[in-house]
Amino acid sequence: ILFTQVIDGENGVATLDLTSGKVTPLWQGPEVISRSWGVFTGISLSSDGMSTAVVRQSFTHPPEVWAGPIGQWKQITRVNDSLKPNWGEVKSLHWVNGDMKVQGWLMYPKQYDPAKRYPMVVSVHGGPGFTNMPNWPTSFYDQSILSTLGYFVLYPNPRGSFGAGEAFTAGNVKDFGYGDFKDILAGVDQVVKALPVDNDRVGITGWSYGGYMTMWA
């Protein structure tokens, strides 16, 4: 079985051998590949399975169609060549809360100056079975505009998220707002300690389950 996967906040493609149960990674990268312009991962294949087509996008490159063997894609379209990021640098972060290793993405302010102090907003994803991934921001509920306005934006993937195994995804079952909320707070603490973020100016927002978490906070 050929499938796409979320791995530590990134996207990947792998195969599963049904006899042995062995998973063989074929490709992984800090981007999103999908069958359309959305952020739900996927891949289109030719009838013989040898050729593939994907829409690739990341925090630095807008969506375009690519085609070819898996991991050896060549760019087909260039309809978004004129688009440039209107937000700051984005880095993958890791932190620990108890026995949970958590990953998230931190977007820096557009005009970042390490000598200044900045506010930060935490953007919690919905689901909770979903994940914040490195995709080009869409017009729907776009938090990257906060970076343009001089904010850090933290996109955490706490327990309940995809990308760190079944146990991690099931980690907030019958525990909504407790362990996962502590995972988020641990990430905020790490950022505040490491970067010039004003701990008195930290906000939180989210859609769907992220809205629940915002109200809980």
State the pLDDT at residue 35: 79
**How many alpha carbons lie under 13 Å from residue 206 in its C-beta half-sphere?**
27
Share of the chain above pLDDT 90, in %: 92
Q: How confident is the model at residue 38 (pLDDT cuts 50, 70, 90)?
A: low
Count the helix, strand and coil residues of the chain and give each as a percent rounded to the nearest 5.
15, 35, 50
Which pLDDT value is given to residue 7?
94
pLDDT band at 41 (very low <50, low <70, confident <90, very high): confident
pLDDT at 67: 96
Question: What is residue 21's DSSP assignment?
Answer: -
pLDDT at 160: 96
Mean of the per-residue pLDDT values of the chain: 94
Q: How many CB atoms lie within 10 A of CB 15?
A: 13
pLDDT for 144 equals 95
* Number of Cβ atoms within 10 Å of the Cβ of 217: 15
Average pLDDT over residues 8-21: 96
What tens digit of pLDDT does each residue of 111-156 get?
Answer: 999 999 999 999 999 999 999 999 999 888 899 999 999 999 999 9
- Confidence tier at 39 by pLDDT (50, 70, 90): low
Q: What is the pLDDT of residue 148?
A: 96
Q: Region 18-33: what's the mean pLDDT?
A: 96
User: Stretch 56-66: mean pLDDT, rounded?
Assistant: 95
Q: Is the pLDDT of residue 94 over 80?
A: yes
Token representation of residue 127: 């689901």
Phi-psi region of 98 (alpha: psi -120 to 50; beta: other; left: phi over 0): left
Separation between Cα atoms, residue 161 and residue 143, nearest integer Å: 19
Mean pLDDT on 28-39: 83
Using the predicted structure, report yes or no on whether residue 168 has a pLDDT greater than 80.
yes
pLDDT value for 37: 64
DSSP line for 108-128: PPTT--TTS-EEEEEEE-SSS
